Amino acid sequence: MIFDPELATQAYMATLSGAARARSDAYFEGGYWLILWSALAAIVANLIILRTGMAAAISRWARRTSRLRWLRSFLFAVPYLMLATLITLPLDIWSRFVREHDYGLSNQDFGAWASEAALDIVISTILLSLLFIGIHAAIRRAPRSWWAIGTGLTAAGLTVMIMLAPLFIEPLFNKYTPLPASPVRDAVLAMARANGVPATNVYLVDASRQSKRISANVAGLGGTTRIALNDNLMRQPADEVRAVLGHEIGHYVLNHVVKLIVTLTVILAIGFFIASRVLPALLARFGARWGVTEVADPAILPVLLLVATVLGLLLTPLMNTLVRTNEIEADLYGLNAARAPDAFARTAIKLSQYRKIEPSPLEEAIFFDHPSGHTRVLTAMRWKAEHLGQPDVR
């Protein structure tokens, strides 16, 4: 009997049907609108802060408080970012808590969710404020060429965060414990060693406290590289765990983190360059009304983030495509590493419980930052068709 990848794929597609498929499609399609609503909320928040004079007032307070220009930048950024977060908070609560519960994806009560959200806000505010110190210094000293310095600072900050987050940020939200000795642990470490991942341990994450999602990652750079899988994934069959970890190992071996940093740096350079030309025009047109008349004013930050929000929204399809391309490459690598195509396909179906499983090609190209369930299952079945009869295929 000839194995037909298309027929095998359709058989897998049929396992998610009826109300379950309608629910996953509705959840994921709602996320399309959230991209727009989130951008509009950020734009509205910044316009409120500028039009009401709050940005100008915070800037005056920062200038009165300190003679140090770098400290003025920080003193403006912290209350401004907190205020912007407060304005958009209702949308955040609905999208990240209420909606997740409506679709049965969250395991947290509101108190637990709110405490983690507050910690996330504090960390993000501090890090963004520190970054603004450098960017604003560049704006003051090089009004025409600051975009290049801003690009370098942002790319460097992103790199440092990727290196340090597994050690200092992620453990603030979840407990990471060494995976106890087991066949799964041995298989994962053996696969890591065989593929050149410098990891000597596998960590288990208590992600079920927050969500029902299954996931794993090979995080960090250089000496901070760490293999981690969440406890929801550990409840799945061993071959499915291997299939997921094979994918994550693929990201490491294929240098996707480094490639993504380089690509993002190029995109950041373009974005900062556009902002450097747009900001003076915005101040000339609206600055007097906002109380922000020069780029050296710390209150330039909400104007800068207005531009960044619009550019980010327009670049959504490009960013999704860049990430999705890496994910497809990691899928293929994982299939070759784990050699478990049916386990990979079953995992793709489980992930499709909150991701639309069969979008149109255009829909997938614009809105998906990972391959759809259909794409992943078809990839696995095509791989299986080319390796039938080989003794090590699981």
Average pLDDT of the residues in 156-165: 92
Question: How does the average pLDDT of the chain come out, rounded?
Answer: 94
> Taking 90 as the threshold, does the pLDDT of residue 193 lie above it?
no
- Quote the distance between the C-alpha of residue 169 and its chain's center: 15
Confidence of residue 196 (pLDDT cuts 50, 70, 90): confident
Whether residue 58 has pLDDT greater than 90: yes
> 73 phi and psi, to 5 degrees?
-60, -45
**pLDDT value of residue 207:** 94
176-178 and 216-219 beta bridge pairing: unpaired
Q: How confident is the model at residue 201 (pLDDT cuts 50, 70, 90)?
A: confident
pLDDT of residue 392: 83
224 has a pLDDT exceeding 80: no
Residue 259 confidence (pLDDT)? 94
Question: Which pTM value belongs to this model?
Answer: 0.91
| pLDDT band at residue 11 under the 50/70/90 scheme | very high
Q: Virtual CA dihedral for 39, 40, 41, 42, nearest 10 degrees?
A: 50
User: What is the structure's pLDDT at 141?
Assistant: 94
pLDDT band of residue 219 (cuts 50, 70, 90) is confident
- Tens digits of per-residue pLDDT, 123-141? 999 999 999 999 999 999 9
Q: What pLDDT is recorded for position 1?
A: 65
The residues, ordered by sequence, that sit 6+ positions from 179 with a Cβ below 8 Å of its Cβ are 185, 188, 201, 202, 203, 204, 229, 234
CB 369 within 8 A of CB 32: no
Q: Is the pLDDT of residue 209 over 70?
A: yes
Domains and CATH numbers, the chain: 1-16+315-387 (no CATH), 41-172+259-314 (no CATH), 174-253 (3.30.2010.10)
Instruction: Tell me the pLDDT band of 355, cut-offs 50, 70 and 90.
Output: very high
Predicted confidence (pLDDT) per residue in 360-372, tens digit: 999 999 999 999 9
pLDDT of 16 reads 93
